[in-house]
Chain A
């Protein structure tokens, strides 16, 4: 697999355990990175479900060498605690990242992804189909933005170089083959 020049790079963010991390903290692992947000009704749960299937099909010793990262493009709503409930619904080994808008926009620009609000006005979250409702809030008044965002899954090697671009339509067997190739590289 060739290296895709000029895409990606190190960044810092806050994980779902409210710790500041850097991507380079995972430079001994194969990283799968996707963008989304917790109020996303369809593509995000679908993507994470796909990644769950992919990850859990790997033998345990391979799983230890892989890190799935989900970067929230709605850091205002997706607090670390809320993100934790969301991401651990899929697999406790997955990592959710949030942070300041500046941090998230920097990550988005590094990976040349995109996101945009569907409308200026926020929508009541009680009408949304979601993985997990937010805790300790007034549910009837809670509102959030809806977004469009990139659906690409970025596959990076152990030096965090971008090696492949995938999505939920990628054949799982091919994707697993690529992951294992990078683990063994």
Chain B
């Protein structure tokens, strides 16, 4: 089975070798986005105070696999990923993740390196879920540099991947589907614009982006609103595929998601605004003479 190399950091924008065929690409990205959502959710859970995760599936995973990790984790940084299908039907995948973990005990910080191997399988609802986690032993490591790789870092990405799974037409849980269907969604594509509930706006959007997949390139958090618990994140997304006339289409999509964390720890999307931009890969873009 061929490895699919995810060369830099999967979860802040990686270089993927996604299939060119639109149908295969859609299958690839919807699977990838579903699995990435799960992994993000898992790490968010590990970073939740006292591991008080609210999702039933994560609670069950914690019971089985929490002891593989050190206590008092304050940061997790993903340093490498590798994904491969375990069968030709692509019902099972192996997702290897290399990590740096910051552990904090009474203000003393220790940095450790470890690897996780997730086995994903399609459940009866055709949704990918984590079936098994195996971890290497931890080793001492150097400092984590750069951003703060805390719970909110993973929350943003869990939501982003969940949304992209939905956009790709992947099966998602009924709760998620209901929430996303009713999310207020504004799409601006050149001189075309639609807004309303996502399930309605997508009818028009999907004429132009009919078959293909969304690859997340970057997630940026905007300054937190003065309203408590409301977050705003910007997603940079690459879409490749075909329109309804089977002509190939490239889209460089920027989305702004606003969401809030509820008292029970669940998140709820408030609104999504989407704009289509010029591609990033033209060397003279932005050059003014």
Contact = CB atoms under 8 A, between A and B. Distances in A.
Q: Indicate the size class of the contact surface on chain A.
A: 20 to 34
Interface stretch (B77-85, B107-115, B174-182, B187-195): B187-195
B250 interface: yes
A165 B276 contact: no
A17 interface: no
Given A115-B288, A148-B289, A151-B289, A4 B250 contact: yes
Interface string A138-160: 00000000001111100000000
Given A151-B284, A165-B282, A5 B289 contact: no
Interface in B231-267: 239-240, 243, 247-251, 253
A6 B275 contact: yes
Given A10-B191, A114-B288, A149-B289, A5 B276 contact: yes
Contacts of A165: 278-279, 282, 285
Given A43-B289, A148-B288, A165-B279, A5 B191 contact: no
Q: Is chain A's binding surface mostly helix, strand, loop or mixed?
A: loop
B175 to A, nearest CB: 31
A30 to B, nearest CB: 15
Contacts of A5: 189-190, 208-209, 239, 249-251, 276
A2 B249 contact: yes
Contacts of B277: 6-7, 112
A152 B247 CA distance: 24
Given A148-B289, A165-B278, A110 B191 contact: yes
B89 interface: no
A3 B190 contact: no
A9 B288 contact: no
19 contacts: A3-B250, A4-B251, A5-B239, A5-B250, A6-B189, A6-B253, A7-B190, A7-B276, A7-B277, A8-B190, A10-B191, A43-B289, A115-B288, A150-B288, A152-B282, A152-B284, A152-B285, A167-B284, A169-B284
Interface of B: 188-192, 208-209, 239-240, 243, 247-251, 253, 275-279, 282, 284-289
